[in-house]
Amino acid sequence: MNNRSSISLRNGMLLALIPLCCGFGWGKTDPCKEARTSLDMLAKVADPLKREKMAASILKACPDGAAGLFIRALTEKPDAAIARYREVLAKDDTIAEAHGNLGLLLHEKGLDQEAAAELTRGIMGPPDPRYHRALADITNDGDLPALALFHYDQALKAFPDDVDLHTGRAEACLELKQFDKAEEEFIRLKALKPEEAKFRLGLADVYRKTGRLDRAIDELRSHLSKTSDKEGHLLLAEVLMEKGERDAAREEYLAAGVDVTINPDDFVRKGDEYLKAREYGQAIAAYQTALKGRPAWPAIQHKLGRAQMSAGRDDEALVTLTPLIKAGSADGAVFNDLGMLHERSGRLDEAIAAYRSCITHDPDQVNAHRKLAEIYTWRGSFAEAAEQYRELIRLRGDTPLYHLNLGKVYDRLKEPKQAVSEYETAVRLDPDMLEGHRELARIFSRDRQTAKAEHHYKEVLRLQSEDEVARNGLITLYVKQKRYDDLTGFVKDWLDQAPGDPQRHYRLGLVYEFKREYDPAISEYKAALALQPDHARMLLALGRVLMKTGRLSDAKAMLEASKKADPTLPEPQLLLSSLQSDSQPLKKKAHKSPGKGKKAPASKAKPARKK
């Protein structure tokens, strides 16, 4: 017992020593984790001294971790800060402020696409109006005025009297046709900066766009009484032209420095004539001259853009048409042309936005629906493509191609009933639509609707007699239904169309061989070989039939010729080996042979052994 007690005591002492020897430290925490937690709280600290003290403690606790690197980035120059923020995010991608600050720096350098992605991650963290402000600037320069308006609203909560923000918001409202809100913004901007000409002109333009021409004239005359500028005179001239006051407009054009000796209407007529004659360079020059006589003329600016597109001068056309959109054009045709320009340059997102805007202004614009359907199909967005093709059918239901394409989209959406319905409509509208018959034959064959499949295969062959898929499909149907006479007649008719084609003789020979009509099979194989003597498979087929009919020496000669024509073909060697092992024809092998007779006594001997 004493011995056991001493052992237990010794073991207890050893256990007590283990923590001391191993450096016991279970209560120790990771300083970088604490620094990361402090970093989340840093944005909420308003007092500059407290914020500076907290930043210093974060940097001291975790100098090389994500939190410490973030603190360093705050005080670095732009290029170094960009590199540092990237380093921070490589270590910890969840720091929203690092994304946002990186986005601000990228925006300052003009890298707006990358900046937008980072700023979007930034606004997911603690509220920072700077991120919304930058995103508003980026989105307002593109085709996303609604998104820009949202970001302007968020930024204005922190900067309510910021002139640039109100200006951007006014521009976004104009693009969205929210003229009442645009008017409010320009009135507010006039109050913030009474001497700023562009705000008075902006307000006058809103009055003009909403049909309040007299108010626009009053606003412009009030502005021009204090200061004379070309832009004000030009806008007033355009408003007066809209009112039909041509003499007064002429005076304003003169004050704006416009060459009134030019008769814009004459040059427009010339431009139209040149455009009709496809003399695009001269049309462009004529329209440009017309715009010198009347600069703000949207209809002619649009014609100029179209002439530039026709001449392949897409970059110039984009420069010509984009201001029309910015000025609040509600002409669907302008958006359609802009969509085509973006599509031709591979900017499909911008093209989709432009085509959708076109449909908003002109729901019956066929080209915009068609282009959207094609882009969505190409991208694999089949539900959206189907929606556009349905709209096209609503507008042009008598166009078989739209039904065909909608059928294909339904096929991709795994909706076979709707696909069949559209294909059938397509071939009803155009009985000679080859592709429609092909699709119906494929679906009916797959679904074992043999009569319908046969009809459409025949229609395909009527339209294109050499269609291999349709011919093979029809042959397969005949074989499955054991309609051998129909099969023979079909292949014979095919041969009659081109009796000099060895393949057709060969195919007819195969049909006869399949039906065990060996003599006509031999005749067709020989006819094929007369036209193409060294064809390995034709030689093989003739040798095979000669074996079946007992003409072994002739069969051997054909099989050896086949082997020589194509040494890689295995069948000739197999049949030659069969000939060497058995001198009887293949046809007779099916009957009782002497070999089987020799085995008979052995089978009778088994019962004798049992006795």
Residue 397, SS3? coil
Residues 6+ apart with CB under 8 A from 538: 502, 506, 525, 528, 529, 532
**Three-state DSSP class for residue 210:** coil
* Mean pLDDT on 147-168: 90
pLDDT-based confidence at 582, cuts 50/70/90?
low
What SS3 class is residue 205? helix
CB 304 within 8 A of CB 318: no
Is residue 271 included in any domain, yes or no?
no
CA distance 253 to 260: 7
Per-residue pLDDT band at 142 (split at 50, 70, 90) = low
d(CA 496, CA 477): 21
Q: Answer with the one of 79, 100, 126 that is the final residue of a domain.
A: 126
538-563 pLDDT, tens digit each = 999 999 999 999 899 899 999 999 99
Domain coverage including residue 105? 32-126
pLDDT value at position 598?
Answer: 43
Provide the pLDDT confidence category of residue 593 given band limits of 50, 70 and 90: very low
**Number of compact structural domains in the chain:** 2
User: CA 565: distance to chain centroid?
Assistant: 50
The confidence band for 321, taking pLDDT boundaries of 50, 70 and 90, is very high
Q: Quick check: is 77 in a domain?
A: yes
Q: For residue 138, how many C-alpha atoms fall within 13 Å in the half-sphere facing its CB?
A: 24
Is residue 58 assigned to a domain?
Answer: yes
7 vs 195, which has greater pLDDT?
A: 195
pLDDT in tens, 282-296: 999 999 988 888 888
- For 234-244, b where at least 16 C-beta lie within 10 A, e where not — what string? bbbbbbbbeee
Name the 3-class secondary structure at 24: coil
Q: Could you tell me the sign of the dihedral formed by the alpha carbons of 303, 308, 311, 312, in that order?
A: negative
pLDDT tens profile 477-525 = 888 888 888 888 888 888 888 889 898 899 999 989 888 999 999 999 9
What is the mean predicted confidence (pLDDT) over 587-599? 44
Identify the CATH number of the domain in which residue 119 sits: 1.25.40.10
Contact 524, 509 (CB under 8 A): yes
The token pair that represents 445 in the structure block: 């064959």
Compute the average pLDDT of residues 373-382: 95
Mean pLDDT over all residues of the chain?
Answer: 85
Chain center to CA of 483: 47
Q: Which token pair is 81?
A: 């800060």
Is residue 438 within 8 Å of residue 470, measured between CB atoms? Answer: yes
Mean pLDDT of 73-81: 88
Domain-embedded: residue 579: yes
The answer to whether residue 401 scores a pLDDT higher than 90 is yes
> Cα separation of 357 and 540, whole Å?
67
Q: Does residue 86 lie in a domain region?
A: yes
How many Å is the maximal CA-CA distance in the chain?
Answer: 139
On the question of pLDDT at 394 being above 90, the answer is yes
Q: Is residue 74 part of a domain?
A: yes
Residue 261: pLDDT band with limits 50, 70, 90: confident
Instruction: Specify if 364 maps to a domain.
Output: no
Task: Please compute the mean of the pLDDT values over residues 360-373 and round it to a whole number.
Answer: 95
In a domain, 278, yes or no: no
- Mapped onto helix, strand or coil, the DSSP state of residue 124 is coil
For residues 343-356, one letter each, b for 16 or more C-beta atoms within 10 angstroms of the residue's C-beta and e for the rest, the string is: beeeeeebbbbbbe
Report yes or no: 522 and 545 within 8 Å, Cβ to Cβ.
Answer: yes
Q: Which of 126, 158, 187 is the last residue of a domain?
A: 126
Assess whether pLDDT exceeds 60 at residue 584. no
Residue 583: its pLDDT value, please?
54
Is the pTM higher than 0.85? no
